[in-house]
Amino acid sequence: MSGRAAGRRGARDGRRAMRRVRRVADVRRAIARWRKQGRSIAFVPTMGAIHAGHLSLVSLARRSADRVVASIFVNPLQFGPHEDFRRYPRPIRRDRIAFAKEGVDLLWEPALEDVYPPGDATRVRVERLTEPMEGTSRPGHFEGVTTVVLRLLNVVQPDVLWLGRKDAQQARVIEQMCRDLHVPVDVRRAPTVREADGLALSSRNRYLDARLRVQAVTLSRGLDAARALLDRGERSAARLKRAVRAAWRDARDVHEDYVAVVDPATLQPVSRVKGRVLVAVAARVGPARLIDNFEWSAR
């Protein structure tokens, strides 16, 4: 089914047909028209390769605002020199159909020059929160994230921004950026969507063959083991980390990047759990680098 046909079907189902635009001026015109009508706007930024996790963000966005804007932009600034920018999946036609069926009103697919115009010389950096975990493993990554997200926000100017909890550090960094720079948007996090066996949905799961897919599940199983210890009263961060790693022991293609037990607000490591805690992991499984986490607090 073509994107146009999906839009017609959405209209028959009682939803508005999705409009696709590329240029900044077109986005701003659509937003201005909705603002004149008194409409509220929710925004879901993505890099495409849409899966059920992205669609859950759209579903929540539709309930939180009158209109939903989504974007697809594979941001080169957040990829390191040896990362997967060139092979990152880009199934654009399928993505368009999925967004149209889920009820996106406006899909923005900017070209590189729309986001980074010729002569571009501005970057956005959030300190401290970007240094541990992903910041250690992927230098410069978060500067790319904050720079692109702020630019997208400046164009869309939404009331609500929806992010996924799987990217917990990214969400926390963006929250801080919006607070520090007085960006008038309500940043909300949606629960991680998982396969039936617990594997967190990720666009990079496409890199996994059947054998690697079985091993990738050990990331969530390790987190489940740590959560079970916390529920039973364990408070030692070292023991929680050992429980995570024990679940990976027989997965020969799972190579640890980090296992972290941190304060969810500061992202600084803790040695003992005293309140809320974020347990986060990153590992390479064959060609895929995967992340997962959970946040826990005593009841």
Is 54 in the active site? Answer: yes
Residue pair 168/190 in contact by the 8 Å Cβ criterion: no
C-alpha to C-alpha distance for 293 and 279, rounded to whole angstroms? 5
SS3 at position 20: strand
Instruction: Answer positive or negative: Cα dihedral of 143, 264, 132, 71.
Output: negative
What is the residue whose two structure tokens read 């073509």? 2
Residue pair 25/8 in contact by the 8 Å Cβ criterion: no
C-alpha to C-alpha distance for 267 and 61, rounded to whole angstroms? 27
What is the residue whose two structure tokens read 């960006």? 183
Q: Which of 54, 82, 141, 255 is catalytic?
A: 54
Residue pair 45/70 in contact by the 8 Å Cβ criterion: yes
**Antiparallel, parallel or unpaired: β 106-108 and 67-72:** parallel
Question: Position 209: which residue type?
Answer: D
In angstroms, the Cα distances linking 17 to 10, 36, 39, 43, 190 are 6, 20, 17, 17, 25
Burial call 2-17: b when 16+ CB within 10 Å, e when fewer? ebeebbeebeeeebee
Beta strands in 96-222 (DSSP E): 106-108, 160-164, 186-190
C-alpha to C-alpha distance for 98 and 101, rounded to whole angstroms? 5
C-alpha to C-alpha distance for 298 and 27, rounded to whole angstroms? 44
Question: Position 130: which residue type?
Answer: T
Give the rounded distance of the alpha carbon of 73 from its chain centre: 13
Q: Which residues are catalytic?
A: 54
